[in-house]
Amino acid sequence: MHKPRGFTLIELMVVMAIVATLLTIVTPRYFAHLERAKEIALRETLAVSRDAIDKFFADNDRYPATLEELVDKRYLRSLPTDPITDRNDNWTLLPPPSNLQGEAAELTSGVWDLRSGAVQEGKTYDQW
C-alpha cells in the first residue's frame, strides 16, 4: 500500500501561525531600528556639512553662498542628502546671526548652518 506524501492542512496552518507570530514580533522592531538608523545618519550628515561650512569660512573669510559652492570648491563631494526624506533640496539654510560682534557686513550673508526640512509626526528634526 502506497502512502501519499505531503503535508496535511493542519500542519500547514500551524506553520503559518508560527510564521505570523514571529512576523508580528519582529516587524515593529525592524521599523524602529530603521527609523533610528535614519536619525543617526541625519546627525552625521549635519555634522559633516557643518564642518565643511566651518572649513570654508576658515579658508575664505566668508560663508558659502549656497551648498553648491561647497561642492564646487570640493569641501563636499556632493550635495548632502537628508536621510529622512531622501532628498537633497529640502534643507533649511540659515544665514549667520546678525549679532556677530566685530564681524564685517559681508560675513552676515551666506550659509552659516543648515537644518533638516523633514516633517515627521512628533519629531523636530529642524531643531537639530
Angle at 124 between CA 123 and CA 128, to 5 degrees: 130
pLDDT digits (tens, 9 = 90+) for 6-49: 888 999 999 999 999 999 999 999 988 999 999 999 999 999 99
Domain count, the chain: 1
Exposed, middle or buried by CB within 10 Å (0-12, 13-18, 19+), for 63?
Answer: buried
Q: What is the pTM of this model?
A: 0.74
Rounded to whole angstroms, how far apart are CA atoms 74 and 52? 9
Its domain, for residue 29, covers 10-127
pLDDT digits (tens, 9 = 90+) for 42-61: 999 999 999 999 999 999 99
Residue 58 lies in a domain: yes
Residue 1 lies in a domain: no
pLDDT digits (tens, 9 = 90+) for 57-90: 999 999 999 999 999 999 999 999 999 989 999 8
